[in-house]
Amino acid sequence: MKKLLLIFSVTAMQCVYGQDSISIKKDTVKVSSEKNPLDIGELRINLNDKGDKWLKFGISSQIWLRSIDNNPGTAVNGVPQNQTYDAGIRRMRLIIQSQVTPFYSVFLQMGINNQSFNSGGGTGTGNNGAGKKSPFFFHDAYNELAIIPRNDFQTGKPNKNNLYLGAGLHSWNGVSRLTNASTTKMLAGDIPVFNFPTIEMADQFARQLGIFVHGELDRINYRFSVNKPFATSLKPAVGGPAVDNNQSGKLSYSGYAFYQFFNKETTVTSFLPGNNLAAKKVLNLGAGFYTNKDATQSQPTENNFESHDVSIFGADVYTELPLGNKNKEMGLTLYSVFYRYNYGPDYLRISGLLNPGTSDPLFTGQRALEGAGNNRVLMGTGNIWFSQMGFVLPKFSKILKVQPFFNYALKDMKALNQNGSYYDIGANLYLYGQNARIVAQYSSRPLYDTASQKVFDRKGEFLLSFQIVL
């Protein structure tokens, strides 16, 4: 008990006073942070003098304020609304990571997602008010063994190749860099969500249960996994599109690899950053896949059910380029990815982040195929091309950086008769590196007519996001 109190006292002192290193020889416990004075650092406790046994904590929070142009026929809390102002918790996370020996580690991530004033609630319904008490759950929970470590256990020198084996609830995903995205180092206000091909269907918030390997082969960074998808059992309508139904229980297989032309990235966790403020020169080319046999089902004629294999392919390029005078700290970030999705005939998913709306039964005008609120066509059988660009403006402050950005997605869905263009434009304001970020973003989405399945209108959404990462 005394040792625990000592450890947490040191951690608290380090957070408050910002010391670079606090050591206690008696218990060989060390709490260390980054040397950069503009970086808040990390909450880490070294469990021995060598520093190869440690316990690390992470905390992140993303709070959203929005103005939403609702789809036609939307009611919010039972009242018809064309526009809605709301506030919500997009993400709130706690990470505990431990290397208990130089070759064995544990990773846990817990938290909540998508809680607003009327959605995302767990037990808070009815008289208690919709949206209250969002469920707190494990996002990641896995163990990992170093087969070939990044650094030699004896000499501490880096190995040219490394290999790690793990098992549990994990996000070592395939398909693309964006399918393995870090949600604390995003370029825009959020990730586009279609980068997670089975999100909240055959996975738990982009995670599945299974085994995985990851590592490096010289300049090739790779990850592969074999998983047991979460069970789905939706029933298809007669003559309707394929729906998620994997009752036959087949395993899923996924993988992603990228070649690193310039500076190499260290992948201690599964999450790949989409934005490092172009601090280093990076150029990576990658490709990946996800497959699951008999994962969806359709019903061409009454009581005649057909199963369909799900296969997803992705190819991408990611680059960060410092530009101009080094003292100006300017830089360009570019990412582009192509996805080919096959979920079965006319499969289509529609979703809206923290959607505040429901259908207004009294509405008599033209409704959208997407439904109410801020719903949009998310993904489906077909192709999506997504690109984003950001530019760090010349340095003008010791603690503040400004980075305008632009996103564009072109969706070609087999179930629709017209391609859809989606875009986001905005700017990041960074304080103290990437520990604190404010995002201002405007997004535009098309709406499809239910009969013609062609675009008939567009709606917008303004987002102000506040993010803290420790």
- CATH (domain of 379): 2.40.160.10
- 127 pLDDT more than 70: no
Average pLDDT rounded to a whole number, residues 451-464: 98
The confidence score (pLDDT) of residue 132 equals 85
Provide the domain limits for residue 175: 33-469
- 12 pLDDT more than 50: no
C-beta of residue 115 within 8 angstroms of C-beta of residue 131: yes
C-beta of residue 339 within 8 angstroms of C-beta of residue 380: no
The confidence score (pLDDT) of residue 303 equals 96
Higher pLDDT pick, 229 / 3: 229
- Of 168, 72, 22, 108, give the one whose Cα is nearest residue 373: 72
Residue 165 lies in a domain: yes
Which of left, alpha, beta for 139 (phi over 0: left; psi -120 to 50: alpha)? alpha
What the block records as the tokens of 288 is 């990946």
The confidence score (pLDDT) of residue 5 equals 40
- 434 pLDDT more than 50: yes
3-class state of residue 15 by DSSP: helix
- Of 350, 348, 365, 372, give the one whose Cα is nearest residue 68: 372
Dihedral angle sign, alpha carbons of residues 71, 73, 78, 82: positive
Average pLDDT rounded to a whole number, residues 136-157: 92
- Of 177, 224, 182, 231, give the one whose Cα is nearest residue 203: 231
Residue 316 lies in a domain: yes
- 2 pLDDT more than 80: no
The confidence score (pLDDT) of residue 17 equals 35
**DSSP letter string over 280-294?**
S-EEEEEEEEEEEEE
Q: Pick the range with the lowest mean pLDDT from 154-163, 389-398, 414-423.
A: 154-163
The confidence score (pLDDT) of residue 10 equals 41
Query: What confidence category does residue 339 fall into, taking pLDDT thresholds of 50, 70 and 90?
Result: very high
Number of residues that this document lists for the chain: 470
The confidence score (pLDDT) of residue 37 equals 54
The confidence score (pLDDT) of residue 128 equals 61
Average pLDDT rounded to a whole number, residues 416-438: 95
Residue 27 lies in a domain: no
Higher pLDDT pick, 24 / 427: 427
- 26 pLDDT more than 50: no
Average pLDDT rounded to a whole number, residues 409-425: 98
What the block records as the tokens of 130 is 């919709």
Residue 166 lies in a domain: yes
Query: What confidence category does residue 13 fall into, taking pLDDT thresholds of 50, 70 and 90?
Result: very low
The confidence score (pLDDT) of residue 455 equals 98
- 125 pLDDT more than 80: no
- Of 173, 112, 167, 180, give the one whose Cα is nearest residue 141: 167
The confidence score (pLDDT) of residue 41 equals 65
| Range list of β-strands (E), 131-218 | 137-148, 161-170, 208-217
Average pLDDT rounded to a whole number, residues 438-467: 98
Residue 428 lies in a domain: yes
Average pLDDT rounded to a whole number, residues 193-221: 97
Q: Pick the range with the lowest mean pLDDT from 145-154, 198-207, 327-336.
A: 145-154
Q: Pick the range with the lowest mean pLDDT from 68-82, 125-139, 281-295.
A: 125-139
The confidence score (pLDDT) of residue 156 equals 78
- 30 pLDDT more than 80: no
Residue 433 lies in a domain: yes
Burial class (CB in 10 A: 0-12, 13-18, 19+), 301: exposed
Nearest-10 Cα torsion for 270, 337, 295, 257 = -40
Q: Helix count (H) and strand count (E) of the chain?
A: 1, 25
142-147: long-range contacts at Cβ-Cβ below 8 A with a sequence spacing of 24 or more? 142/106, 142/107, 142/166, 142/167, 142/168, 142/169, 142/170, 142/212, 143/104, 143/105, 143/106, 143/107, 143/167, 143/168, 144/104, 144/105, 144/106, 144/107, 145/103, 145/104, 146/102, 146/103, 146/104, 146/105
High-pLDDT (> 70) share of the chain, %? 90
Phi and psi, residue 177, nearest 5°: -60, -40
Higher pLDDT pick, 287 / 23: 287
CA 33 to each of CA 23, 37, 44, 157, 337: distance values in angstroms, whole numbers, following the listed order: 12, 10, 7, 22, 35
| Range list of β-strands (E), 194-250 | 208-217, 220-228, 243-244
Average pLDDT rounded to a whole number, residues 362-391: 98
Q: How many CB atoms lie within 10 A of CB 123?
A: 10
Residue 371 lies in a domain: yes
Q: Pick the range with the lowest mean pLDDT from 168-172, 273-277, 431-435.
A: 431-435
How does 165-191 read in b/e, with b if 16+ C-beta sit within 10 Å? Answer: ebebbbbbbbbbbbbbbbbbbbbbbbb
Residue 390 lies in a domain: yes
Report how far residue 261's alpha carbon sits from residue 402's, in angstroms, rounded to the nearest whole number.
27
- 11 pLDDT more than 90: no
Query: What confidence category does residue 40 fall into, taking pLDDT thresholds of 50, 70 and 90?
Result: low
- 32 pLDDT more than 80: no
Helix (H) or strand (E) holding 246: none
- 157 pLDDT more than 50: yes
- 7 pLDDT more than 70: no
High-pLDDT (> 90) share of the chain, %? 81
- 29 pLDDT more than 50: no
Question: What is the domain count for the chain?
Answer: 1
Higher pLDDT pick, 302 / 30: 302
Average pLDDT score over the chain = 91
3-class state of residue 108 by DSSP: strand
The confidence score (pLDDT) of residue 254 equals 98
The model's pLDDT over 64-121, given as tens digits with 9 standing for 90+, comes to 999 999 999 999 999 999 999 999 999 999 999 999 888 999 999 999 999 999 988 7
C-beta of residue 207 within 8 angstroms of C-beta of residue 140: yes
